């Protein structure tokens, strides 16, 4: 009788689990299917996002342009002044020095870390995560923003911080009904905010061409809102000028020629 009872329990569990169980890859497959189709995602060569970033009570209109080879530039217009808070030319990350308002290269670690990770994630970190050497795990379920979610952990390539290798892990919460990420969480590895938990909330999924994307993105630091982004337009496969990604020569550079 003990054997029959055990067999009955196994059969009961087997009858229930297949209806609800999901693997990490199945969740990602549903995600791409629900947001435009994987083939369409694979065909994206460039992406241009326009919107407003609100931080400290100030609105920063921006345009971010990203290419499939990893190059990226963000242009911000503030009260008639244009500047670039971040760009990547394929090898080097650079920014605008807010005191001199001249282009300035970021440190080598920042460029290497970006090249090894974010530069390979176009147009989505999950699209070719295995080819990028990332690892994805379904670790459970949770309720986030009042929504039942699948909890997935994406382990990326380690980053270097002050000469030391640090883990690079982000936890994503996927809406169980729509299979889209609504929250991501990670821990800052370096700088003045080292050890701080950062959380990004994705909402207002709307149609953008043939895709569905979050048009509202809120970034929190240890639970406090730091920045809110409102996307107004997204264009795909637009033609861009390669020169926009290159760091302009500074006055000092010109003097040395």
> In the chain, at which residue ranges do the beta strands (DSSP E only) sit?
46-55, 58-67, 72-78, 81-88, 93-96, 103-105, 135-144, 147-155, 159-161, 164-166, 169-175, 181-187, 197-208, 211-221, 224-236
Paired with 62 in beta bridges are 51, 76
Please state the rounded mean pLDDT for residues 59-63.
95
Instruction: List pLDDT tens digits, range 178-221.
Output: 999 999 999 988 777 788 999 999 999 999 999 999 999 999 99
Architecture of domain 26-251: Clam (2.50)
With contact defined as beta carbons under 8 Å apart, do 78 and 63 qualify? no
Q: Which residue has the higher pLDDT, 8 or 47?
A: 47
Taking residues 27-35, report their average pLDDT. 98
Question: Quick one: pLDDT band at residue 122, thresholds 50, 70, 90?
Answer: very high
Reduced to 3 states (helix: H, G, I; strand: E, B; else coil), residue 250 is: coil
- Give the rounded percent of residues in the chain with a pLDDT score beyond 90: 79
Token pair of 2 as six digits? 């003990």
- What was the pLDDT predicted at 21? 56
Render 185-230 in DSSP notation, one character per residue.
Answer: EEE--SSTTTT-EEEEEEEEEEEETTEEEEEEEEEEETTEEEEEEE
The domain ranges of the chain are 26-251
What spatial distance separates the first Cα and last Cα of the chain, rounded to whole Å?
90
- In 3D space, the residue among 45, 168, 66, 152 whose CA is nearest the CA of residue 117 turns out to be 168
Please name which of 88, 79, 47 lies closest in space to residue 210, comparing C-alpha atoms. Answer: 47
Question: Considering the chain, what is the average pLDDT of its residues?
Answer: 89
pTM over 0.75: yes
Q: Which of 79, 68, 160, 190 is nearest to 121 (CA)?
A: 68
Specify the pLDDT at position 9: 40
Phi, psi (rounded to 5 degrees) for 142: -160, 165
């Amino acid at each position: 009788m003990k054997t029959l009872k055990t067999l009955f329990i196994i059969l009961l569990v087997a009858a229930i689990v297949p209806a609800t169980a999901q693997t990490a890859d199945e969740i990602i497959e549903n995600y791409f299917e629900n947001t435009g189709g994987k083939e369409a995602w694979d065909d994206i060569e460039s992406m241009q996002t326009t919107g407003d970033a609100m931080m400290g009570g100030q609105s920063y209109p921006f345009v971010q342009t990203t290419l499939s080879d990893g190059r990226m530039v963000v242009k911000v217009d503030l009260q008639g002044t244009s500047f670039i808070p971040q760009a990547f030319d394929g090898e080097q990350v650079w920014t605008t020095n807010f005191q001199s308002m001249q282009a300035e290269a970021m440190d080598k670690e920042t460029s290497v870390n970006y090249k090894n990770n974010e530069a390979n994630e176009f147009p989505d970190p999950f699209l070719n995560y295995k080819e990028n050497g990332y690892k994805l795990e379904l670790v459970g379920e949770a309720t986030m923003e009042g929504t039942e979610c699948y909890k997935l952990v994406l382990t990326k390539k380690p980053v270097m911080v002050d000469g030391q290798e640090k883990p690079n892990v982000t936890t994503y919460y996927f809406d169980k009904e729509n299979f889209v990420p609504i929250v991501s969480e990670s821990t800052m590895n370096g700088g003045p905010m080292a050890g701080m938990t950062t959380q990004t909330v994705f909402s207002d999924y709307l149609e953008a061409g043939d895709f569905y994307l979050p048009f509202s993105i809120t970034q929190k630091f240890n639970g406090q809102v730091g920045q809110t982004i409102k996307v107004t337009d997204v264009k795909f496969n637009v033609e861009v000028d390669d020169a926009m990604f290159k760091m302009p020569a500074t006055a000092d550079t010109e003097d040395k020629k």
